[in-house]
């Protein structure tokens, strides 16, 4: 796994000699200054090994693979947010079907690695897999809104 080091894009976290990478400049133009992504902080580059690990962990349900991220995830969190206090981690929920199929929520697993309270404050309105989200609209809402 290759850690992201040195200069990175302030929006997407990709290693970049520029403050904002070329892709993010294009996205900002596309959204005309209203890009919903305000910031992403990544720990590793998304190369072949990472793709294979994510596939095994997230798509083939191998829970143990997630533990390979524990130390680096905590270290990256502390580097980025270590001066902040009173964290609440809010994992993105899975659909009931996906949770049943996989047996765990990878976002909950990552949240459990952090020195933070974990809040299940969101619920999934539609149950489509993320990989199929181009076929149907998917909405994740705060529970108080989605239960209305």
57 in Cβ contact with 73 (< 8 Å): no
Question: 41 or 81: whose CB is closer to Zn ion?
Answer: 41
For Zn ion, which residue of 4, 8, 9, 77 counts as binding (CB under 5 A)? 9
Sole binder of Zn ion in the list 4, 8, 11, 69 (CB under 5 A): 11
Reading the block at residue 15, the tokens are 């290693």
- List the interface residues with Zn ion, window 20-39 (CB under 5 A): 21, 24
Buried b / exposed e over 112-127, threshold 16 CB at 10 Å, is: ebbebebeeebbbeee
Query: Which strand (E) or helix (H) includes residue 141?
Result: strand 140-142
Q: Is 109 in the site for Zn ion (CB under 5 A)?
A: no
> With contacts defined by CB under 5 A, how many residues of the chain interact with Zn ion?
5
Provide the binding-site residues for Zn ion, judged by CB under 5 A: 9, 11-12, 21, 24
């Amino acid at each position: 796994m290759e850690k992201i080091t040195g200069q990175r894009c302030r929006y997407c976290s990709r290693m970049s000699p520029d403050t904002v990478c070329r892709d993010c400049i294009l996205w900002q133009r596309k959204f005309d200054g209203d890009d919903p992504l305000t910031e992403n902080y990544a720990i590793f580059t998304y190369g072949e090994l990472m793709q294979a690990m994510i596939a095994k962990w997230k798509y083939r349900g191998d829970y143990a693979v997630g533990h390979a991220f524990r130390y680096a995830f905590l270290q990256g969190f502390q580097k980025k947010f270590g001066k902040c206090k009173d964290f609440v981690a809010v994992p993105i929920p899975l659909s009931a079907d996906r949770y049943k199929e996989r047996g765990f929520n990878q976002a909950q697993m990552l949240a459990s690695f952090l020195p933070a309270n974990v809040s299940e404050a969101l619920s999934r309105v539609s149950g489509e897999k993320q990989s199929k989200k181009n076929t149907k609209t998917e909405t994740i809402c705060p529970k108080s809104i989605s239960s209305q």
